[in-house]
A = this chain, B = another copy of it.
Amino acid sequence: MRKENSTNAINEQFLFQVCELNSAIAMISGRWKSQIVYSISQGNNRFHLLKKELPNISEQVLGRQLRELETHAIIIKREIPETVPSGIEYVLTNKGIDLVPVLEKLCDWGKTYADGKAIAVCSDLINSSR
């Protein structure tokens, strides 16, 4: 996100002010990002573990997304103490931890309406008019 004062950036800011919903979505959208958060919450909290989980991701992209998640204070990068080749792990902040159940809600919603099952307008509306 290399901003400027383009219309795009201005509109983004506008939405951020309308409701935190928009900044929340900005933080979790982006390819791989929420999947990374979820994977970390499941224990895949090291660079190489994430790489294994997401076989198609390139290291550059993974590093970039991790940095962004760190910027948004969803995760924190830590050296694992007392490891000789000095490992790095990613830990969810409390912000990140609170995000997980919300992601699960989103996931449930996605599952419920996967494919195209059971889509309808609010009952009475379907069988009226055209």
List which A78-98 residues lie within 8 A (CB) of chain B.
78-79, 81, 91-95, 97-98
- Chain B's nearest CB lies how many Å from the CB of A9? 11
Which residue, A91, A107, A113, has most C-beta atoms of chain B within 10 A?
A: A113
| Docked pose: A32 CA to B29 CA in angstroms | 13
| Docked pose: A19 CA to B39 CA in angstroms | 11
Q: Which residues of B contact A30 (CB under 8 A)?
A: 29
Smallest Cβ-Cβ distance to A37: which chain B residue: B21
Smallest Cβ-Cβ distance to A72: which chain B residue: B113
| Docked pose: A95 CA to B102 CA in angstroms | 17
Report A's interface with B, CB cutoff 8 A. 7-8, 10-12, 14-15, 18-25, 27-32, 34-35, 38, 56-57, 73, 76, 78-79, 81, 91-95, 97-99, 101-107, 109-114, 116, 118-122, 125, 128-130
